[in-house]
Amino acid sequence: MLFKNIGIIDENFKYQADMTVGVQADRITYIGKDVPADADCFGEVYDGNNKVLMPGFYNAHGHSPMTLMRGFGENLTLHDWLNKKIFPFEAKLYKKAVYWGTLLAMAESLRYGIVSTSDMYYFIDDMVRAYSVAGAKTNISRSVANPTGAELSEVVGIKETKDAIMMYDGFENGRIKTDAAVHAEYTNDEKTMRAVADIAKEYNVGMQIHLDETKFEADNCKEKYGMSTTEVMEKFGIFDQPCNAAHCVWVSESDMDILKAKSVTVASNPTSNFKLASGICDVPTMYKKGINVALGTDSVASNNSLNFFEQIKLFAIAGKVKSMDPAAMRPDQALFSATRAGALSQGREDCGLLKENFKADLIVVDASGPNMQPVHDMAHNLIYSADGKDVCLTMVDGKVCYQDGEYKTIDIEETIAEAEAAKNKILSEL
């Protein structure tokens, strides 16, 4: 595809008007003001008038099958939400339900410009099948929880983590990668956390965790171990491999220094944290310390939406409120967190930028609507004025997966119907 006469968010996250961008196979092969001499080699020409081309979004933290729990368990604290609503529902999940729930999440993701998700859940085979059908990217992990302290031989998540890594790491020409995952400190004992850390090191894969999402979690860990949750995770080897730590709402500045020293990515989830009244992640301080901060949605059970422009706006505003500095959270920082930071957290060095020879994970945003006009600064409009429904094209590895209301890889009517049927079946058994 050859995008002509289109505005772009360049590799420095600055806006440039009237550019030409060429995609061949799965790569961006041309960026310039002029149409390349070999324009015919690019095939389809896309008219970019009143549109913006930018890197696709990297959702740094999600639980995709939980689309089935959208709106289920409202107005509760995190721990009541989990124990009274989510865990009982999840106990009734089955393979087909997880497949359709994941595919529904992929449809919503592609609609809103999300090209890749760091996903933590179980029923990995069925989730991978949905990602494969959708054409999206993922770093997928089998969440390990052992709240009773059972012997490792009895923890099914340990075996399933190894199986997932051996079967799927690098699957679909690298679109699908696998990580190890510790659900959280409060759902595991020391031996289990160390065992999962050892798996990550043995197979040289990344790690995903929940870290200090609530004050209750942070205080309870301090009482149990005499250390912060971050210090516990470091001691048990969780940070010895590249780690994606979700939430980090209640980490201290000394914890942040550990996260920086261990090159941990913080996956901030502002909508979920606000909705569950968990608190505000101190992103401005993390930026100052040089921590890689990416942006996540969490599940739609605690967010209700995968509208990523909605996440970006709240992310930027939350940082301003946390720091009490209206100059905090520059547009280039917020856009970096929504794209490149997430790609780096997934170990995808050639993704997340609109740059020649990088993977063509791209979205087109319609800037012609009244919410995007007038334009004083396009980057500010993208952060504060754009909406997910302004995304009119989503491309993953050079393949168009969504365009102008049409899903190229997903039967949306079937997906919605099957997800609804799965939800009803589970509810009937609760």
Query: Tokens 């340990």 — which residue?
Result: 158
**Interstrand relation of 51-55 and 2-9 (parallel, antiparallel or unpaired):** parallel
Residue by residue, DSSP assigns 131-188 as: HHHHT-EEEEEEEE--TT---GGG-HHHHHHHHHHHHHTTBTTTTEEEEEEE--GGG-
pLDDT of 74 reads: 92
Give Cα separations from 93 to 11, 100, 122, 336 (angstroms).
42, 11, 10, 36
Query: Would you place residue 379 in the very low, low, confident or very high pLDDT band (cuts 50, 70, 90)?
Result: very high
Q: Is the pLDDT of residue 107 over 90?
A: yes
pLDDT for 389-417, tens place per residue?
Answer: 999 999 999 999 999 999 999 999 999 99
What's phi and psi for 300, nearest 5 deg?
-75, -5
- Provide the 8-state DSSP code for 74: -
Per-residue buried b or exposed e for 249-283, using 16+ beta carbons within 10 Å of the residue's own CB:
bbbeeebbebbeebebbbbbbbbbbebbebbebbb
As given in the structure block, the two tokens for residue 161 are 């983590």
Contact 70, 304 (CB under 8 A): yes
pLDDT for 300-328, tens place per residue?
Answer: 999 999 999 999 999 999 999 999 999 99
Q: Which DSSP helix (H) or strand (E) runs through 292?
A: none
What's phi and psi for 268, nearest 5 deg?
-80, 140
How many other C-beta atoms lie within 10 A of the C-beta of residue 171?
17
Cis peptide before 374 (omega within 30 of 0): yes
Average pLDDT in the 5-29 region? 98
pTM above 0.95, yes or no: yes
**Interstrand relation of 51-55 and 45-47 (parallel, antiparallel or unpaired):** unpaired
- Strands annotated E in 33-162: 45-47, 51-55, 57-62, 114-121, 137-144
Please state the domain extents for the chain.
2-56+351-407, 57-345
Q: Is the pLDDT of residue 204 over 90?
A: yes
Average pLDDT in the 59-87 region? 93
CATH superfamily of the domain spanning 57-345: Metal-dependent hydrolases (3.20.20.140)
The distance in angstroms from the start CA to the end CA of the chain is 49
Query: Would you place residue 79 in the very low, low, confident or very high pLDDT band (cuts 50, 70, 90)?
Result: confident
pLDDT of 132 reads: 98
Query: Would you place residue 162 in the very low, low, confident or very high pLDDT band (cuts 50, 70, 90)?
Result: very high
Could you say which architecture CATH assigns to the domain 2-56+351-407?
Roll (2.30)
Q: Is the pLDDT of residue 368 over 90?
A: yes
